[in-house]
Structure 1
Amino acid sequence: MTERPSKLYSVTAPGRWLMFALAWVCVALGVVGIVTPVMPGTVFLILAAWLFARSSPRFENWLLTHPRLGPSVVAWRENGAIPRWAQLVATGSMAGSFVLLVVIGLSTPVLAIIGTIFVGVSAYMLTRPTE
């Protein structure tokens, strides 16, 4: 029986390079999200791990074993967990952003769409396990 090709080889070479580059953009955004309260970083790190898994297993391993960046990605992969602090910061950031959008005067239909998205994302995050 022949071995099934890995996910790495199911993507064309230009596709792997694009995914690799996007993964590094996501790592950078994830680091920014870790050091600033405005943007959640974990989401970008999870996306980076997914992109590295399809473009560079070496860098996927680097990210998963990184002492500061890896634990949240590993927790997500193992059981869909999001740390409670991350849930609260992300939800608070969305609430603050929504208030800012109201203050700057966005139209009601646009606010309704954004509010629906924020409530849906917050509900999903807050129902995930914390460990």
Structure 2
Amino acid sequence: MILFYRLSGLAALGTGLVGIFVPLLPTIPFILLAAFCFARSHPLWEARLLRSRFGPAIIDWRETGAISRKGKVAVLSVFGLSGTAGYLSLEGWRALLPVLACAVGAIWILTRPTAVSRPPSD
């Protein structure tokens, strides 16, 4: 089982890092998944993630399920663009599917607490 978590963590971390450079591919959800997997398979790698620039987002999510205001704005902007693009690209009732999917995602994001800014740790 440890091998499964370790490989899953590496895959999630790799996908999250690619998401930094590829539009519409989320970064933070994959980093959160990597931290989850490493917590069960490789505590040293988990500790490195917690010390990285992603550390505050991981800690906020673990402690309160919170998402930063900046993160919410970014996700909601992408949802808006994606829903609009889907609506304009499709015809008939299918045009409503991306709008509906983005609306459900936006509602979920808006129901999460907003993370309080943390001072940088030294």
Alpha-carbon contact 1:17-1:55 (below 8 Å) kept = yes
> Superposed, which structure 2 residues align to 1:1-131 within 5 Å?
12=1, 16-66=2-52, 68-105=53-90, 108-109=93-94, 111-131=95-115
- In structure 2, stretches of 5+ residues that fail to align are 116-122
TM-score (norm 2): 0.77
Residue type matched to 2:69 in 1?
R
Residue type matched to 2:77 in 1?
G
Question: Which of the two has higher C-alpha Rg?
Answer: 1
Alpha-carbon contact 2:57-2:67 (below 8 Å) kept = yes
Alpha-carbon contact 2:16-2:28 (below 8 Å) kept = yes
Distance of 1:107 and 1:52 partners within structure 2: 45
Q: Aligned pair in 2 of structure 1 residues 106, 42: CA closer, same or farther (>3 Å)?
A: farther
Residue type matched to 2:64 in 1?
N
Percent identity of equivalent pairs: 30
Alpha-carbon contact 1:20-1:56 (below 8 Å) kept = yes
* SS of alignment partner, residue 67 of structure 2: coil
Distance of 1:101 and 1:114 partners within structure 2: 5
Q: Aligned pair in 2 of structure 1 residues 44, 107: CA closer, same or farther (>3 Å)?
A: farther
**1:100, distance to aligned residue in structure 2 (A):** 1.7
Distance of 2:45 and 2:100 partners within structure 1: 36
RMSD: 2.1
Distance of 1:121 and 1:86 partners within structure 2: 13
